[in-house]
Structure formats: structure tokens, C-alpha cells
Amino acid sequence: MNVLVVGRGGREHSMVLELAKSEQVKNLYVAPGNGGMKEQATCVAIDEMDTDSLIHFAKEKAIDLTIVGPEAPLNEGIADRFQEANLKVFAPTKKAALLEGSKSFAKAFMKKYDIPTAAYETFNDAEQAKAYIEKQGAPIVIKADGLAAGKGVIVAETKAEALNAVDDMLVSKAFSEAGSTIVVEEFLSGREFSLMAFVHENHVYPMVPARDHKRAFDHDEGPNTGGMGSFAPVPDITEEHIAFSVGNILQKAADGLMAEGCPFTGILYGGLMMTDAGPKVIEFNTRFGDPETQVVLPLLKNDLVQVFLDVLDGKDPELVWEDAACLGVVLASAGYPGPYEKGAAIPSFSVLDDSYVVHAGTKDEGGTLVSDGGRVLLVGAKAATLKEAQEKAYKVIDTAGDNKDYFYRKDIGVNSI
């Protein structure tokens, strides 16, 4: 088969690493890809938002299956366009992707289909939002309605912080149009976890749960990021928790989207909080999570190509998972998630057995790999236990020595071991 992956980040490199193992794959392409993917796939200089060129390429190269990684092209309707061109694509339609593309749509959807989530109100007027916050008090959560690369969520510990967030989004337009409507919601206390599933219409096939670390610095301090590290599975999430989450959250979402006339095909991601009242939805994503994918897919024993094909054909892919743990640590550019420099040399790691490096923000500059983003790469490791996986991942990171151009959290997984 000829397979095309759309995207350029760590999530896409994780998919490429798994797809490259499949004996069913003849040619593997990634558009646009990054500097670290060249060993496993052919990188094609087409932007992930250039749907016309992607369709032309898919036809020219007789692509048998396209998998779309990032949220932005999904919300622009890339799946609809591929389907109209009679090209097989594993991705949700524009209408189904709205579950991630609009926080207000998602909250109303969850309310309609009785999916457990935080109480909320939606606003596009700053003064009304502030009046609501004054009444509710803090802590409280303020979210930009649209896509903001994982950074449009403010967990405000104080009312002053919440009111500033409203001004940033609705008045100063910190997130442009993504923040022209905001959702203000109840603060949920508990421990977060992510549960992803392969979905086709009303068929839901869950993966192992993962937990990522959103804050930039150790001890969950600093600003929110796209994710500074992750691990899977999650020791404090039981089989009962997973069964509840699949039945009352992911399955209800799949059924609800069918009832709305926009059946879902792709990866449905539940960002969940384990509260005293059970799991509740913080957010839905309509694609693989990043960095969770980087620690979940290495535990999958199945041929990933066959999984995609089976799901698209309405067959149970009969997922089989390793009885092991996987942990990954993100190496980020100094200054991230604020301003940062690009073009720093990529550190060299001595990789151990069952450890690996996934590239996210890297590019090839004249044969040398340099940084090209905030989250540059992830160093991951598999082992029999979470503690062993953690030790192995940090041991690999240590082989590169200190580097002022980068930073990483030194406590990924600590609170779960």
C-alpha cells in the first residue's frame, strides 16, 4: 500500500514510526513532515492546510490510505474533500471535528446527550462574563472557544486572574478569532487522564489511558503548554473507570454524533478528570493527542495499518496491548511556551533498548537537524514498570548532557509511581 500521513509534529512521527513497521506499506509519505522523519518516510513539501495540493499528490502517487494528524486541517474539512475525491481517509468530517473546533458546541452537545462534564456558560461579552465570574468565584476555568494549539485554557486560581483572562481573550484578542467567544466553566478537582479510541460511526475501540503533564515546569508550575511529557497506562485509573468512560463518554459521543447526522470516523480523544463523582470531560479532541500518542502507540502490538483498515471497514480491530509501561519526556526550546529561538542544534542521545526519540519541532538544514518549534522532541522508553520506564527515559536524556537552548521537566510520572 501507499500511505500518506498529514502533519509535521510528534504525534505524526509516532504514527510514522509504527506505520513503517507494517509489511503492508510499500511507500510511506508524510506531508510536510519534519527533519526527524526522513529515516522512516518520504517527506513531501506540502503544507498540511494545502488541501488541493494534498489531493493532487494523493492521486498522483496512488495513495491507498491517508491519515490526518493535526486539528487545523480537520476543522477546515480536509476529510470531506478527500471523500469527495474518492480517496480513502482516516479522519472526521468538518462537522464531526467541531467537537474539538468549538468548545461551546462541545459543551452544548455534552449537555444534550447527558455526557458528564463541568457546569458552564458561554459568553462573547466581556462584562457579562466578568459578572458571572464575580458570582461564581474562583478557582474557575476560562476557555477560548476555538482552536488555540492547546494554550487557550486558563485555570484561574483567583477572581483577578479570571477577569484578566476574559480581557485577554475578549478585549485584547490574545487568541484572535479563536477567543471571540469564551466558555467559563466550573473548576473540576481530581486527577486528569486521557482516553483515546479508534471510532467509526457507533463502533468505539478504546486505547490504554495516558496522562500528560501540561504545565511548563516541575511540580506543575508555570504556564500551560501543549504537553511536557506523558505516560501510559495510568496506575490509578482502574478497569471500572475505563469501562465507565467508554460507555458514558466516548460511546455516547459517537452515538450522539450519529444522531446529529455527522457520524464520526477517526480518533476520538477524551481529556477527562477523575472527580469524586467519577470521570468527567474536560475537553474532546478529534485526533490523536500529543504527547499521549508518543507513549500509547508504542504499547500497541497490532499492525497500525490493519487497525485503520479494520476500523474503516466496520470490523473490530481486536486491539492487543503490551503488558508494560511507557513514559516520554518532552525537550522544549528555552522560553517556551513564550517567545523562543529556532535553529539550535539538536542534541545527540545514546538510545537504549526499548527507548526512542520522537521528533516534533525539528528541521533539516543542510544535513544538520536544528530546532524549529517550541516542543522539539520527546525521549521515550518502555519497561515492565512505570518507574523503570521513567528511569530509562531520563537516563537517555542524560546522555546528551546539559544544553542552555533547551529545558525539560524532571518529574514526569513522579506522582504516579
**Do 209 and 271 fall into the same domain?**
yes
Query: Is residue 53 assigned to a domain?
Result: yes
**Do 308 and 354 fall into the same domain?**
no
Domain boundary among 156, 180, 204: 180
pLDDT in tens, 2-34: 999 999 999 999 999 999 999 999 999 999 999
Note whether 287 and 74 are within 8 A (CB): yes
Per-residue cell: 19: 506505520
Average pLDDT over residues 105-129: 93
Provide the whole-model pTM. 0.93
**Do 206 and 301 fall into the same domain?**
yes
- Residue 127 CA to residue 35 CA, distance in Å, equals 47
**Do 296 and 332 fall into the same domain?**
no
Query: Is residue 292 assigned to a domain?
Result: yes
Note whether 65 and 19 are within 8 A (CB): no
Query: Is residue 112 assigned to a domain?
Result: no
pLDDT in tens, 239-295: 999 999 999 999 999 999 999 999 999 999 999 999 999 999 999 999 999 999 999
Q: How high does pLDDT run on average in the chain?
A: 95
**Do 46 and 146 fall into the same domain?**
no
Average pLDDT over residues 49-62: 98
Residue 142, φ and ψ in degrees, nearest 5: -120, 125
Q: What is the CATH number of the domain that holds 248?
A: 3.30.470.20
The answer on pLDDT for 415 being more than 70 is yes
Length of the chain: 417
Which helix (H) or strand (E) is 80 found in, with range?
A: helix 78-84
**Do 285 and 247 fall into the same domain?**
yes
The domain total for the chain is 4
Query: Is residue 256 assigned to a domain?
Result: yes
Which helix (H) or strand (E) is 270 found in, with range?
A: strand 265-275
Q: What is the CATH number of the domain that holds 137?
A: 3.30.1490.20
Q: Which of 312-316, 349-353, 394-398 is the least confident region?
A: 349-353
pLDDT for 150 equals 61
pLDDT in tens, 323-363: 999 999 999 999 999 999 999 999 999 998 999 999 999 99
pLDDT for 174 equals 73
pLDDT in tens, 174-212: 777 766 888 899 999 999 999 999 999 999 999 999 999
**Do 301 and 411 fall into the same domain?**
no
Residue 296, φ and ψ in degrees, nearest 5: -90, -50
Percent of the chain with pLDDT over 90: 88
Average pLDDT over residues 300-307: 98
Instruction: For residue 265, give every residue at least 6 positions away whose Cβ sits within 8 Å of its Cβ, in sequence order, or none.
Output: 79, 90, 91, 92, 93, 96, 199, 200, 201, 311, 312
DSSP code per residue over 380-409: EEEESSHHHHHHHHHHHHHTT---TTEE--
Residue 84, φ and ψ in degrees, nearest 5: -65, -30
pLDDT in tens, 129-174: 999 999 999 999 998 887 776 667 888 999 999 999 999 898 888 7
- Residue 123 CA to residue 183 CA, distance in Å, equals 6
pLDDT for 180 equals 82
Show the domain range for 83. 2-93
**Do 293 and 349 fall into the same domain?**
no
Query: Is residue 103 assigned to a domain?
Result: no
pLDDT for 151 equals 66
Domain boundary among 291, 312, 333: 312
**Do 200 and 286 fall into the same domain?**
yes
Q: What is the CATH number of the domain that holds 40?
A: 3.40.50.20
Query: Is residue 99 assigned to a domain?
Result: no
**Do 11 and 85 fall into the same domain?**
yes
Query: Is residue 386 assigned to a domain?
Result: yes
Handedness of CA 52, 84, 197, 114 (dihedral sign): positive
Query: Is residue 329 assigned to a domain?
Result: yes
Write a three-state SS string for 349-380: CCCCCCEEEEECCEEEECCEEEECCCEEEEEE
**Do 198 and 274 fall into the same domain?**
yes
Q: Which amino acid is at 301?
A: K
Domain boundary among 312, 334, 367: 312
Which of 137, 117, 140, 130 minimizes the C-alpha distance to 166? 130
Helices (H), 125-231: 126-136, 159-166
**Do 13 and 39 fall into the same domain?**
yes
Q: What is the CATH number of the domain that holds 333?
A: 3.90.600.10
Percent of the chain with pLDDT over 70: 99
pLDDT for 176 equals 73
